[in-house]
Amino acid sequence: MSTKLEHDSGGSAGVHPEKKDKRLGLGALTALVVGSMIGGGAFNLAADLAQGANAGAILIGWVITGIGIIALGLSFQNLTMRRPDLDGGVYSYARAGFGSFVGFNSAWGYWLSAWLGNVAYATLLFSSVGYFFPIFEGGQNIASIIGASIMLWLVHTLILRGVHEASMINIVTTIAKLVPIFAFITITLFFFNLENFTFDFWGQGGFSWGSVRDQVVSTMLVTLWVFIGVEGAVVLSGRARKRSDVGKATVIGLLGTLVIYLLISIMSLGLMTPENVANASQPAMAYLLESAVGPWGAMLINGGLVISVLGAWLGWTLLAAEIPFVAAKDGVFPKWFTKENQNQAPVNALWLTNGLIQLFLFTFLISDAAYNFAFSLASSAILIPYVFSAFYQVKVAKNGIGYSSGERKTRDLAIGLVASVYGLWLIYAAGIDYLLLTTLLYAPGTLLYMKAQRENGIKSLTKTEWMVAGVLTALAIFAVVRILSGNISVI
């Protein structure tokens, strides 16, 4: 499979027509971005936000997130134009800017986030199915594990048939999932109660800087979680029909999704007080609409969520398999990940990804908050890839990489700086516990990187790489100590 494009030409020179037809156009790429972002998280967004914040702080959180995520999305758009030779997106940018080991950890973290996100989707999916079939009620019992396992391997089989075919199905599910969300926003306009929205607007006791700051911080992993996927088109840029479509799809999908999320949050808080929204059962949107129009509202939303999560699950499995595949082709992951089947699907990467998801599905039996735990861990894991992409945007603009002589770089530099500050703010907002837990997943990756290096004839890590690996290992050990002492809960 050729992953290099004849940039700005609208296609690849010398590519066989049948292979060219298999490449992804603007519609498919935009659907992938929207489909990857709007998953199950959108349907439980109001409750997840309200658990730690009131309306005023939630709005501030959206302002911060909007500025930061738009800057990050514009960074991705700019980087696809300035470095069209980089086909691995967030991984490629980290590697090009800061070396192979940083690139590996960026790819590793992105991959971790992708399949952990699918674990979160699984519990939310069967919580919704439980509305129609009580045997799955709660989404975290034996029946749910069996159902999620069947769904996992059906998606696996679909992707083995080819990335292009899976992407076309993703377009259909993206359209289908937007229908109940737009219905929710439209219907709740007629039931919006300003008193509910303004009730305890800043929290009990009114406005105070300390309280509002803590509330805003509590929203950050939630808002990041629902925006994970903004880079979806960038990750699959090597399969795009036109390089210019990658940036367009990213910006179109991002802005549209931001408006949708903001409306969901505002409309939900106009139906119930923050306390009642926070205590709504999963998925919160279903029970909020049910309170307004009756049982048919919950049926509509739960049905839509099933379609939505299936689409997001499909999209994220595509991304999860693509990252180690691309990284392995660059020699950063072991060569084992480069294997494709006759349909050009990255078969080994796909088997390992879904095997790990299957293993983690059993956490449903030991955790009463599997969804929240999985999405928080997924959000923490993706911070490294996002931060280094923002850093690389700064480096590209500062050094004029890919710019013509005399072309202005000030705007792009400012965008990169805003995206970098946003990324660092997210690391602070994530909190020490989730960051420590994330190191437990990052630390073992060094062994995989060492194997890839040996395959490339490099027998040892550099001094800097040994230092970074040592810090990760030390933090992972510290995390284990805190878990065993009961200071960090994982169930």
Instruction: Kindly give, in sequence order, each residue whose CB lies less than 8 Å from that of residue 261, ignoring residues fewer than 6 positions away.
Output: 42, 45, 62, 223, 226
Instruction: Kindly give, in sequence order, each residue whose CB lies less than 8 Å from that of residue 184, ignoring residues fewer than 6 positions away.
Output: 264, 267, 285, 288, 289, 301
Domains, the chain, with CATH or none: 24-483 (1.20.1740.10)
Instruction: Check pLDDT > 70 for residue 18.
Output: no
Is-contact 101 445, C-beta < 8 A? no
Classify residue 205 as left (phi > 0), alpha (psi -120 to 50) or beta.
left
CA distance 230 to 66: 12
Q: What is the mean pLDDT of the segment spanning 403-410? A: 86
Residue type, 377: L
Give the pLDDT confidence score for residue 19 in this predicted structure. 44
pLDDT range class, residue 394, cuts 50, 70, 90: very high
User: Which pTM was predicted?
Assistant: 0.80
CA distance 152 to 122: 9
pLDDT range class, residue 10, cuts 50, 70, 90: very low
Q: What is the mean pLDDT of the segment spanning 22-50? A: 78
Residue type, 307: I
Instruction: Check pLDDT > 70 for residue 8.
Output: no
Give the pLDDT confidence score for residue 42 in this predicted structure. 84
pLDDT range class, residue 330, cuts 50, 70, 90: confident
Give the pLDDT confidence score for residue 466 in this predicted structure. 92
Is-contact 172 24, C-beta < 8 A? no
Lowest pLDDT segment from 38-42, 72-76, 387-391: 38-42
Is-contact 83 91, C-beta < 8 A? no
State whether residue 6 is helix, strand or coil: strand
Instruction: Check pLDDT > 60 for residue 480.
Output: yes
What's the mean pLDDT when you consider all of the chain?
Answer: 82
Q: Which two tokens stand for residue 414?
A: 């400012």
Residue 236: which of 337, 325, 176, 109 has the closest Cα?
325
CA distance 252 to 254: 6
Q: Which two tokens stand for residue 363?
A: 């956490």
Share above pLDDT 70 across residues of the chain, in percent, rounded to a whole number: 88
Q: What is the mean pLDDT of the segment spanning 163-179? A: 68
Rounded to a whole number, what is the largest CA-CA distance in the chain?
68
Q: What is the mean pLDDT of the segment spanning 222-249? A: 73
Q: How many CB atoms lie within 10 A of CB 467?
A: 11
Is-contact 87 235, C-beta < 8 A? no
Q: What share of the chain is helix, strand, coil (3-state, %, to 5)?
A: 75, 0, 25
Is-contact 367 360, C-beta < 8 A? no
Q: Which two tokens stand for residue 30?
A: 């935009």
Residue 387: which of 281, 231, 223, 180 has the closest Cα?
231
Is-contact 309 124, C-beta < 8 A? yes
Is-contact 192 37, C-beta < 8 A? no
Lowest pLDDT segment from 116-130, 309-323, 338-352: 309-323
Is-contact 226 147, C-beta < 8 A? no
Q: CA angle at residue 315 from 151 to 109, to 5 degrees?
A: 100
Instruction: Check pLDDT > 70 for residue 16.
Output: no
DSSP string, 195-214: HHHHTTTT-TT---HHHHHH
Give the pLDDT confidence score for residue 370 in this predicted structure. 64
Give the pLDDT confidence score for residue 31 in this predicted structure. 75
Q: What is the mean pLDDT of the segment spanning 178-199? A: 89
Q: What is the mean pLDDT of the segment spanning 405-411? A: 86
pLDDT range class, residue 84, cuts 50, 70, 90: confident
CA distance 238 to 329: 12
CA separation, residue 42 to residues 264, 283, 314, 372, 394 (Å): 8, 9, 16, 13, 31
Q: What is the mean pLDDT of the segment spanning 276-289? A: 86
Is the pLDDT higher at 374 or at 325? 325
Give the pLDDT confidence score for residue 366 in this predicted structure. 67
Give the pLDDT confidence score for residue 321 in this predicted structure. 83
Instruction: Check pLDDT > 90 for residue 397.
Output: yes
Is the pLDDT higher at 8 or at 47? 47
